[in-house]
Amino acid sequence: MKLPSILLANACSALFIADLSAAAVVNASAVSDGVANMCPTSPPIPQAMNPHEYEDLVKYYKYAYAAYSEKCLFPNQANGVRVTTSVFNNTVIYGLASGAGYIAVDDTKREYIIAYHGTKSVNDIMDDLKITLSSFSVSGITVPEAVMIHTGFRDVYFRNKRHDILINLLTKEFERNSGYSIVTTGHSLGGALASISGVILHRKFKVPVKIYTYGQPRTGNAKYASWVEDGVDRSNIFRSVNKNDPGPTSIPHVPFTRLNYMHHGTEYWTCGDGNTSDDTRECNLPEQPNCSRDIKTAAPDIGTKPHSNYFGLADNLEFCDQRPL
């Protein structure tokens, strides 16, 4: 099927250029996104986010954003987090190009954090543009035939045996640390990878999994959205959208077509002027009306702040070891 040029242009400029801009400002100071209050004033009005859950939403964003910088990959031990060579070696697991990320261990919370960055390379851009839906298979897991995901996201996730290496590493870790849970997190393209990774790891290891994504584009069809929610459970999915961020709508939802993409729940939409739980609304249904789906997205250019500036943060130094690699 020939894809409309306007769709490709929207995807390329909104999702990819904004990601490259995000990577460029990792070490910048906190700034405002310059976007006015967008919270709905007429029913149905989604409820404000739980303050404790909001704290975690911000915390795991810092992990996701740390994956962008080659000088900021290692979470700081002062925050109760460790990185060991048995769990993570950046050049071995993901490399520094397409689909890069890292794995951290929080022994206090007894969890593994798997973080993915968004678009950083030309290869990422080429993968992002593969927007047809494709089926996929995973050894040891039954994936329903009707479940389909973005072809490029699938390719990034499985390329160079990344999935197999991840499974092998976690298998060894769970032999030593039974009772640990998993958190997957990522920004933009990384959010899509965190979604795919999260549902697969939950079904593989049968352990509690939470998924935190930020500016995640639609990743699969309606069957995929249901598969994620039924497996991980919607209460453990935190899909964050910042105001009129173009990332989540860069791949459109066109019902009853071959491009029948759909978001999974639950969306947490930061629509207010500030960066508090009261400014973030809980949207429990996929593609829920009166949430970010109904907002005209920002102009997709490098100056677009909503995609690269979540929670007023343009850095994550709190979680980073500043030594050079």
pTM to 2 decimals?
0.85
Residues 48/281, Cβ–Cβ less than 8 Å: yes
The percentage of residues in the chain with a pLDDT greater than 70, rounded to a whole number, is 72
DSSP state of 76: -
User: pLDDT tens across 129-143, in order?
Assistant: 999 999 999 999 999
Compute φ and ψ for 184, nearest 5 degrees. -110, 140
User: pLDDT tens across 73-112, in order?
Assistant: 555 555 556 654 333 333 333 333 445 678 888 888 899 8
The per-residue pLDDT for 23 is 46
**Strand order across the 209-214 sheet:** 81-82, 101-106, 111-116, 181-187, 209-214, 237-242, 267-270, 280-283
The per-residue pLDDT for 154 is 95
**Max avg pLDDT among 67-76, 172-181, 228-237, 239-248:** 228-237
User: pLDDT tens across 256-288, in order?
Assistant: 666 789 999 899 999 987 789 999 999 988 788
Residues 6+ apart with CB under 8 A from 276: 54
Read off the pLDDT of each residue in 65-80 and give the average, rounded to a whole number: 63
Dihedral over Cα of 188, 190, 196, 198: its sign? negative
Please state, as a whole number, how many other Cβ atoms lie within 10 Å of the Cβ of residue 143: 18
What kind and span of H or E run contains 153?
helix 151-158
Residues 247/277, Cβ–Cβ less than 8 Å: no
Read off the pLDDT of each residue in 213-229 and give the average, rounded to a whole number: 95
In this predicted structure, which of 3-17, 35-49, 92-106, 220-234 has the lowest mean pLDDT?
Answer: 3-17
Confidence band for 44, pLDDT divided at 50, 70 and 90 = confident
